[in-house]
Amino acid sequence: MNDKTLMVYIGSAEDALKDFLEVWKSGKPANPVNRLSFESMAGFMRAFTPKRWELLEVLKRNSGQSINQLAQLLGRDYKNVHTDIQTLVELGIVEKDKSGLVSVPWDEIETHVKLGIGMAA
CA-to-CA separations, 18 to 13, 42, 54, 110, 111, in angstroms, rounded:
9, 22, 33, 20, 18
What domains lie within the chain, and their CATH numbers?
5-113 (1.10.10.10)
Amino acid letter at 44? F
- Sign, CA torsion 112/24/27/33: positive
pLDDT at 12: 67
At 70-106, the pLDDT tens digits run 999 999 999 999 999 999 999 999 999 999 999 999 9
Q: In this structure, are residues 89 and 102 in contact, taking their beta carbons and an 8 Å threshold?
A: yes
Amino acid of residue 41:
M
Distances (CA, A) of 97 to 62, 63, 83, 87, 89: 15, 11, 17, 15, 11
Residue 112, pLDDT score: 84
d(CA 118, CA 121): 9
Given a cut of 50, is residue 68 above it in pLDDT? yes
- Residue-averaged pLDDT of the chain: 84
CA–CA separation, 72 and 47 (whole Å) = 22
